[in-house]
Amino acid sequence: MRKLQELRQGDIFQQVRIADFLIEKDPRFAKITLDDDKYRLYQTVYDSIISDLPKPDMVDYLQAPTETLYDRVKLCGTPSEQAIELSYLQQLNDAYTQFFYYYDDTPLLIVNTEAINLAKSDRDYQNLVGYMVQISSGRHYYNPHPLQ
């Protein structure tokens, strides 16, 4: 809550904010993981904190087929993530895909990460950044293919 309050107050000297979390997509995760009573409580709290948060300058949605995500979790996930079932991951992936299909609050870049590895390849990362800096509005798709 404290971090969200800091966002509301802003910083006139900070021109760009970078975050790895978009709170507007969180209710989709909560709906899948919480029972009805806990979800109603969650929604009450969520509604009270979301109203006046600043919007990001751009949102990047890193997506991949569920099987690819599942393989990556099994390869690199934490011990608690190793227990994730494919069906659960499919539900999350579908929920986020639906959310971003309708998302239009800010410029949106949808990145197909099936064939790239942004965490391990500096080339993949630099290519994505080069694409991102050209975006100022609207919805964009970045669909790189692996180098042969």
Give the pLDDT confidence of 114-139 residue by residue, as tens digits.
999 888 899 999 999 999 999 989 99
The residue-averaged pLDDT of 5-9 equals 54
pTM for this predicted structure: 0.79
> Would you say 31 and 80 are in contact if contact means Cβ atoms under 8 Å apart?
no
Long-range contacts of 103-107 (CB under 8 A, 24+ apart): 103/24, 103/59, 103/61, 104/139, 105/24, 105/55, 105/59, 106/55, 106/56, 106/57, 106/58, 106/59, 107/57, 107/58, 107/59, 107/135, 107/136, 107/137, 107/138, 107/139, 107/140
- The percent of residues above 70 in pLDDT, for the chain, comes to 84
- Cβ neighbours of 72 (radius 10 Å): 15
pLDDT of 148 higher than 50: no
Question: What's the burial of 31, exposed, middle or buried (CB within 10 Å: 0-12/13-18/19+)?
Answer: middle
Q: What is the pLDDT of residue 1?
A: 52
What's residue 30's pLDDT?
95
> Per-residue pLDDT averaged across 72-90, rounded?
91
Specify which of 11-20, 74-83, 119-128, 138-147 reaches the highest per-range mean pLDDT: 119-128
Distance CA 30, CA 38 (A): 9
Distance CA 23, CA 7 (A): 12
Position 94 scores a pLDDT of 96
Residue 35 has pLDDT above 60, yes or no: yes
Question: What strands, in cross-sheet order, belong to the sheet with 59-63?
Answer: 59-63, 108-112, 139-142
Does residue 55 surpass a pLDDT of 60? yes
Q: Are strands 139-142 and 108-112 parallel, antiparallel or unpaired?
A: parallel
